[in-house]
């Protein structure tokens, strides 16, 4: 394996894998004498035995992986990073801010491979204190000291084509207010972002907020485009089916948690509704970016 690309979610991993395979095929067309470049997806939801067999039969040049599946393979020594030359961490700020991911990420950067043998690339559209982050990367020996810091500083933090608005209403009026907006806007394709269900709510046996909202829209919004649900609590097959439905639909309303906010390419999206406010400005940036992710 020559290159490893680590992504935060299975959904983004599937997307990156598709692009990588397209680029690998194009490269082979341009240089006929070049060896084929195999791309392997090592994502949550796959079976350990299947991944193991794949590595044995066709060792890949590029691996796209989620941290949990990757570390499982590394811990069992099924996969080794001795020959890795390039390590890419996508959405790196999200990974470091995730309590579920950060310890595994640090272990990957320091224990499983050496900075002397690899090029490390940390990518994100939003690293709030980017200079401090570069300093920490060097101090923690996650990267070499001669870092090339590529920071795109746009004139506008948001594209000028985006129109922003906010609505103030009582908690009990949120459903009816959203319904009014959907009826007046008549969006061709929209994403409604909803907050994750709290542990307290789960223990009480309550339905997830995403489910409650989508059930409300099914019964109250007759002319609504196809309603699709995307939530972390869904199994991998259900999540894949939801994204397939969205991409094959001529119009949709996707009710989703922040799993849809990072990197997922839905270029047909015309409207974003924050039913629950994002945690911070960075999350708002990524949610809003779903409407301008292409072009």
**CATH code for the domain in which residue 75 is found:** 3.40.50.300
Asked if 30 and 132 sit in the same domain, the reply is: yes
Structure confidence at residue 4 (pLDDT): 94
Q: Is residue 163 part of a domain?
A: no
28 pLDDT more than 80: no
Residue 156 belongs to a domain:
no
Indicate whether 256 belongs to any domain: yes
127, burial (CB in 10 Å: exposed 0-12, middle 13-18, buried 19+): middle
Q: What is the pLDDT of residues 61-78, one digit of tens each?
A: 899 999 999 988 898 888
Q: pLDDT tens, 197-219?
A: 888 888 888 888 999 999 999 88
pLDDT digits (tens, 9 = 90+) for 112-141: 888 888 899 998 877 777 788 888 888 888
Helix H segments across the chain? 10-30, 48-57, 67-75, 92-97, 102-110, 130-139, 174-185, 199-203, 209-220, 236-248, 281-288
What is the per-residue pLDDT across 50-62, written as a single tens digit (0 to 9) for each?
888 878 777 888 9
Whether 192 has a pLDDT exceeding 90, the answer reads yes
Task: Name the domain boundary from 92, 121, 140.
Answer: 140
Return the CA Rg of the chain.
21
Is 277 inside a domain boundary? yes
**Same domain as 180, residue 68:** no
Q: How many structural domains compose the chain?
A: 2
Q: Does residue 93 sit in the same domain as residue 198?
A: no
């Amino acid at each position: 394996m020559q290159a490893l690309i680590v992504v935060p979610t299975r959904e983004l991993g599937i997307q990156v894998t598709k692009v990588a395979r397209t680029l690998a095929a194009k490269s082979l067309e341009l240089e006929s004498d070049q060896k084929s470049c195999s791309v392997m997806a090592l994502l949550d939801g796959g079976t350990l035995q299947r991944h193991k067999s794949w590595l044995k039969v066709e060792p890949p040049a590029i691996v796209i992986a989620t941290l949990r599946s990757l570390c499982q393979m590394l811990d069992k020594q099924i996969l080794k990073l001795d020959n890795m030359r390039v390590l890419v961490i996508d959405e790196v700020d999200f990974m470091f801010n995730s309590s579920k991911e950060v310890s595994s990420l640090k272990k990957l950067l320091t224990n499983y491979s050496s900075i002397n043998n690899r090029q490390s690339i940390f990518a994100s559209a939003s690293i709030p204190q980017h200079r401090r982050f570069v300093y920490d990367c060097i101090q923690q020996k996650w990267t070499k000291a001669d870092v090339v810091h590529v920071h795109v500083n746009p004139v506008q933090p948001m594209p000028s084509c985006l129109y922003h608005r906010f609505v103030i209403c009582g908690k009990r009026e949120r459903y009816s207010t959203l319904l009014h907006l959907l009826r007046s806007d008549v969006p061709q394709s929209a994403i409604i972002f909803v907050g994750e269900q709290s542990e307290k709510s789960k223990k009480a046996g309550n339905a997830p907020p995403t489910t409650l909202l989508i059930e409300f829209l099914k019964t109250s919004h007759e002319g609504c485009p196809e309603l699709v649900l995307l939530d972390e609590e869904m199994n991998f097959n259900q999540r894949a089916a939801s994204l397939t439905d969205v991409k094959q639909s001529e119009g949709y309303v996707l009710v989703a948690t922040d799993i849809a906010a990072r990197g997922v390419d839905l270029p047909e999206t015309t409207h974003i509704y924050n039913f629950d406010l994002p945690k911070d400005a960075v999350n708002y940036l990524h949610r809003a970016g779903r409407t301008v992710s292409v072009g």
